[in-house]
Homo-oligomer: A and B are copies of this chain.
């Protein structure tokens, strides 16, 4: 397959209806933070967090074959602690092609992504170049100021949270295209969308398109979980075009390099893969270093065994060699690599439960304790770290997960997959898990990994990605509200005001998904006058409770005393006027 004909990602038609992309400038002109400004018909604006990148700015021309502009490049070079170097050569097997493939089967891989603009970059002297390191030294980086503006908090708050290890700002020095964002319980709850082709289906174009599509609807980070062919090339296209941090599971690619034989995995192959991906600009990597040999038998009598791909691969490796994994044994060296590029750890929960029956069991919590130890090691190397969490957990067992993780991992950000609160609804696991996600985020999870309707059944398509992202934005925002995040309720209030005042267009434009809200309304009341009608098709014009409330409000404004005093008088007027609080239905 050639990528010369890769499509421009399609933007939804209504992108620019009712809102525009705005920017807030920081202390220097190149700190320019994008926001979504929704224009209300009453003349006001509502400013919302925006993850959609330059694609929604009509003043910026994007070209998927050249990639996005490197907005962080000057900040990175300006720090003077990193330098370019030739980088490792890209090899056919990086793309899952056989060493033994016929020569005609290999293409010039440099040509595959035409726009690759820079040599890779890493720490100049082996010292950490991480946001954690800077924060601990008391430095407020442009990245920190950027997220402070996004989150509407002080830059010092951002620096403190990162320095304490309670938040991460994933920002590989080789992904200067990304717009800084922060993951931590003091900030807005974030949502990750997984994309990735597999051996069975999907293509590079589709994955790039899914990435821009996911961020269009609010994904804060994207994980590329590709496992099949073209794995290196797909990643290059995704990273170069991504305005959000990109995460991966390097183990998947490493396994491809040893032809799928888990026992042939070595530290050398894995390390080479990590460097390959770090040079491309991957911002955070899932590492299943907590799967210890002695934990594997704890899973033997589980209902669903090990359901994490990475976890099962590492378990198989440990069994084959009867020793602790190369990830665990070489964790300190891995930290040094991560520190040299500012790759953030996402310490994987390889033994997470895959069913209600297996939730909160010994295997799961044993691994969590090991992740706590690894978190301490990573922090010693100034590597930013978050901890992954389940999975499948019934509601009454959810809180124990976040409480234990926060205690064991010194409040490092928790990054959970759902959890799914029941197993009985395949095709609706965005909902079974959205319930658990909202609850665990309220209680402290910093980032939620989305689940789509295809979970357990197949790979998500474009519609599934959108449904998954929207569902998880709901869970995240419900949690922001419950946590009392400053400013979170303003959005709800703006929408409810619009609803009460029958400003239909404002309701649509303020909705998480304006297109669907508008379409659903128009199914029964499509005519343009219905957009200003003081009723909807749910009750029809005769029974509109909102309208009756307006009548009550008109009669009972003012202070409580005035209301009490005025009640009888108003009541008499009301009766005299015929008490028509709603329009008669047209006969």
Docked complex Cα distance between A538 and B201 (Å): 9
Docked complex Cα distance between A455 and B299 (Å): 44
Docked complex Cα distance between A474 and B395 (Å): 12
With A308-B545, A458-B536, A524-B458: A513-B428 Cβ-Cβ less than 8 Å: yes
- Within A533-555, the residues touching B (CB, 8 Å) are 536-543, 545-546, 548-553, 555
How far is the CB of A313 from the nearest CB of chain B, in Å?
7
Is the CB of A357 closer than 8 A to any CB of chain B? yes
Is the CB of A19 closer than 8 A to any CB of chain B? no
Q: Which of B459, B495, B571 contacts A524 (CB 8 A)?
A: B459
Q: Mark A314-349, 1 if CB is under 8 A from B, else 0.
A: 011001111000000000000000000000000000
Instruction: Name which of A133-141, A231-239, A256-264, A274-282 contacts chain B.
Output: A256-264
B-chain residues with CB within 8 Å of residue A91 when the two chains form the complex: none
A311 near B545: Cβ-Cβ < 8 Å: yes
With A300-B563, A424-B477, A457-B517: A228-B540 Cβ-Cβ less than 8 Å: yes
Q: Mark A424-460, 1 if CB is under 8 A from B, else 0.
A: 1111101110110011001000000000011111110
How far is the CB of A98 from the nearest CB of chain B, in Å?
8
B492 near A424: Cβ-Cβ < 8 Å: yes
B511 near A426: Cβ-Cβ < 8 Å: yes
Docked complex Cα distance between A572 and B571 (Å): 89
Docked complex Cα distance between A259 and B584 (Å): 8
Docked complex Cα distance between A255 and B542 (Å): 10
B495 near A423: Cβ-Cβ < 8 Å: yes
Q: Mark A30-54, 1 if CB is under 8 A from B, else 0.
A: 0000000000000000000000000
**Contact size class for A?**
35 or more
Q: Which of B439, B499, B545, B587 contacts A309 (CB 8 A)?
A: B545
How far is the CB of A36 from the nearest CB of chain B, in Å?
13
Docked complex Cα distance between A454 and B580 (Å): 28
Docked complex Cα distance between A308 and B545 (Å): 6
Docked complex Cα distance between A431 and B94 (Å): 41
B434 near A296: Cβ-Cβ < 8 Å: no
Is the CB of A312 closer than 8 A to any CB of chain B? yes
- Within A545-587, the residues touching B (CB, 8 Å) are 545-546, 548-553, 555-557, 560, 563-564, 567-568, 570-572, 574-575, 578-582, 584-585, 587
B-chain residues with CB within 8 Å of residue A584 when the two chains form the complex: 259-260
B-chain residues with CB within 8 Å of residue A479 when the two chains form the complex: 395
Is the CB of A471 closer than 8 A to any CB of chain B? yes
How far is the CB of A366 from the nearest CB of chain B, in Å?
13
B396 near A482: Cβ-Cβ < 8 Å: yes
Residue of B nearest to A521 (CB): B457
Is the CB of A489 closer than 8 A to any CB of chain B? yes
With A500-B303, A563-B300: A574-B320 Cβ-Cβ less than 8 Å: yes
With A537-B198, A585-B260: A500-B395 Cβ-Cβ less than 8 Å: no
- Within A235-289, the residues touching B (CB, 8 Å) are 252, 255, 259-264
Is the CB of A83 closer than 8 A to any CB of chain B? no
B-chain residues with CB within 8 Å of residue A552 when the two chains form the complex: 296, 299-300, 305-306, 312, 315-316, 319
How far is the CB of A276 from the nearest CB of chain B, in Å?
19
A496 near B458: Cβ-Cβ < 8 Å: no
B-chain residues with CB within 8 Å of residue A496 when the two chains form the complex: 303-304, 354-357, 423
How far is the CB of A487 from the nearest CB of chain B, in Å?
13
Would you list 28 pairs from A and B whose C-beta atoms are within 8 A, ordered by A residue? Answer: A98-B587, A260-B542, A260-B582, A260-B584, A296-B552, A301-B553, A303-B497, A304-B549, A305-B549, A309-B543, A311-B545, A316-B551, A320-B571, A320-B575, A321-B571, A355-B499, A394-B489, A423-B493, A423-B496, A424-B492, A425-B473, A425-B512, A427-B519, A431-B471, A431-B474, A435-B474, A453-B520, A457-B537
Q: Which 4 A-B pairs have the closest CB atoms?
A: A305-B549, A199-B540, A355-B496, A263-B579
Which A residues contact B (CB, under 8 angstroms)? 98, 198-201, 227-228, 252, 255, 259-264, 293, 296-297, 299-309, 311-313, 315-316, 319-322, 354-357, 394-396, 421-428, 430-432, 434-435, 438-439, 442, 453-459, 461, 470-471, 473-475, 477-479, 481-484, 489, 491-493, 495-497, 499-500, 507-508, 510-513, 516-517, 519-521, 523-525, 536-543, 545-546, 548-553, 555-557, 560, 563-564, 567-568, 570-572, 574-575, 578-582, 584-585, 587
